Amino acid sequence: MNGYWMLVLHAHLPFVKHPDYDFFLEEQWLFEAITETYIPLLMNMKKLENEGVYFRLTSSVTPPLAEMLSDPSLQKKYLTYLDRSIELADKELIRTKDDSTFQPVARMYREKLETIRSYYLKDLNSSVLNGYRHFQDKGNLEIITCGSTHGYLPLMNNYKAVRAQVELAAQTHEKHFGKRPEGIWLPECAYHSGLEEVLNDSGIKYFFIDTHGVLFSSPRPKYGSYAPVYTSAGVAAFARDYYSSKQVWSSKEGYPGDVYYRDFYRDIGYDLDYEYIKPYISPDGVRVFTGLKYHRITGEMDFKEVYQPEIAYQKTVSHAAHFVAEREKQVDEIAEIIDRNPLIVSPYDAELYGHWWFEGPDFLLNVFREMNKSNIVKPITPIEYLNKFPTNQIVDLNPSSWGDEGYYKVWLNSGNEWIYRHLHFMSNSMVKIAEEYKDGTDSLKTRFLNQMARELMLCQASDWAFLVTTGTANEYSTARTKEHINNFLRLYTMVSDNHLDSNYLEKLENKNSIFQNINYKLFT
């Protein structure tokens, strides 16, 4: 074996739970991701397991995602969502029964959804996390954590706020996966000097950093981005490989843009007759995605041809073969100039596989099948690698992130800069009040303090600043940010004035229910 390939998927969604509503647009994020990404990935891992293929991958399951996936009310809502999708797929079979062009793609969705439903209920026992735990126990999958609510760590001004994000993440990880995490996906891959100390305090052994975070480190990294480095705290950092990312996403060699792959935007929620589709879109009549998309990318024009599942699948086979061959070439080229087996680290947002790139999960399936035949490159997890190569160079890493241009501007610009004044005030206040009550207090006040910690953490989610920048869910993100600031300040005033409104508290505890076991003393 000449080198190693490390696939890293970052599975994350912000905590979105709206118990007062039957249908809530942003809750659909979770349901779409379960149907399109998490379950298809798990089902393909199952295939690899059954075929006896050697495969290794690393995936974060961020604390808010894990909390949502194990929330009984969201599990119930997901099943309703799935059943309604199946109902629509059934109607589509009838509608297209005399249409030999669209009938095959309608049938493909119907079968796929039924398989997903059966896998979800039988194999997963209604919890996606069961699937992750299964492959963790088998040794195929290394599950890592993230910031407790995906808070943007470099832009926090209080060391204790950073520590609380990391430590609560580790505790929540243990609750869901039975052990404390050894690795972390830093929220937005964002690193700042000194972070390694905090990670080390929580028992984290490694994290990931963008290519230039290692290339611009000091002293110069001996192996470029082809081997991990150690920080002064002894925590290892793995650098993203530039070329394998490029391979998947580049406009020239990139796979997902193939004209035979499914078009993301052409959805029957927008295409079909309004009266017909009305029961399956937003109840207020607004057209939304249904997940049933019948066209392929086709080309640059608006005209789209019908999607042909078989041809698209064959494309994933040839793209996977190409990907593995390219990694073999890369490994051979690097192995000649460095004195150890090169490591290629390929991190992606998990949701890109399946949700965006419909065929992505099959591509990964075929990559592992193909790599199983290779004598040159082999999949590996971070802990396996560090056990094999425990000696690594020590460097000071460069502050960086995986956002546009590689630093912090996506999360700090003239559209979202107003958030930080409040976040800083809140975290400083939290630290102050936690210190005041560090020896404990009565049970009601404890609940107030714990809810303050929840509101702060939910507000810290980098998703809000990100969505403001992209303009995608700007209104919702702004509203969520203001809601948590407002909640926090009201709770803070109530505690300070010793005027505790328990009805108000209960309402918040039910809605913003993340981290049932949170302890405000995290902030001391």
Instruction: Write out the binding residues for other proteins, residues 415-474 only, by CB under 8 A.
Output: 417-418, 420-422, 424-425, 467, 470, 472-473
Per CB under 8 A, contacts with other proteins among 290-349 are: 295, 297, 299-306, 330, 333-334, 337-339, 349
* DSSP β-bridge partners for residue 405: none
Burial of 65 (0-12, 13-18, 19+ CB in 10 A): buried
Of 65-104, which residues contact other proteins (CB under 8 A)? 80, 84, 95-96, 98-99, 101-102
Please give the Cα distance from 407 to 399 (Å, whole number): 7
Does position 375 interact with other proteins (CB under 8 A)? The reply is: no
Q: Is 155 in the site for other proteins (CB under 8 A)?
A: yes
Alpha-carbon distances of 171 from 143, 145, 518, rounded to whole Å: 14, 10, 9
For residue 435, the tally of other CB atoms under 10 A from its CB is 12
Distances in whole angstroms, Cα of residue 124 to Cα of each of 119, 130, 439, 517: 6, 6, 42, 25
8 Å CB contact between 347 and 10: yes
Least separation, in Å, of the C-beta of 392 and other proteins?
A: 10
Note if the bond before 219 is cis, omega within 30 degrees. yes
Contact 13, 64 (CB under 8 A): yes
C-beta of 199 vs 395, nearer to other proteins: 395
β-pairing verdict for 236-239 and 229-230 = antiparallel
| 2 binds other proteins, rule: CB under 8 A | no
Q: Based on CB atoms, which residue is closest to other proteins, 71 or 463?
A: 463
Q: Choose which of 122, 285, 375, 498 interacts with other proteins (CB under 8 A).
A: 285
Residue with tokens 């210190």, as numbered in its chain? 435
Order of strands, sheet of 236-239, starting from the edge strand that comes earlier in the sequence: 183-184, 206-209, 236-239, 229-230
Q: Which of residues 191-210 bind other proteins (CB under 8 A)?
A: 193, 210
Distance CA 142, CA 58 (A): 5
As measured in angstroms, the least distance from the Cβ of 282 to other proteins is 7
Nearest to other proteins of 77, 112 (CB atom)? 77
- Asked if 282 is part of the footprint of other proteins (rule: CB under 8 A), the reply reads yes
Q: Which of residues 474-513 bind other proteins (CB under 8 A)?
A: 475-476, 479, 482-483, 485-487, 489
Nearest residue (CB) to other proteins, 122 versus 301: 301
Selected from 17, 112, 266, 319, the binder of other proteins by CB under 8 A is 266
Helix (H) or strand (E) holding 141: strand 141-144
Name the minimum Å distance from CB 270 to other proteins: 5
Nearer to other proteins, 112 or 295 (CB): 295
Measured from the CB atom, is 264 or 437 closer to other proteins?
264
C-alpha 298/C-alpha 288 separation (Å) is 23
Min dist CB 520 to other proteins, Å, is: 21
Min CB(177)–other proteins separation in Å: 23
Q: Is 249 in the site for other proteins (CB under 8 A)?
A: yes
Positions 113 through 152 that interact with other proteins (CB under 8 A): none
Size of the site for other proteins (CB under 8 A): 138
Helices of type H across 34-95: 39-51, 63-69, 72-95
Contacts for 378 with CB less than 8 Å, ≥ 6 apart: 1, 3, 4, 5, 54, 371
Kindly state the smallest distance separating residue 21's Cβ from other proteins, in Å: 5
Say whether residue 390 binds other proteins (CB under 8 A): no
Asked whether position 180 contacts other proteins by CB under 8 A, the answer is no
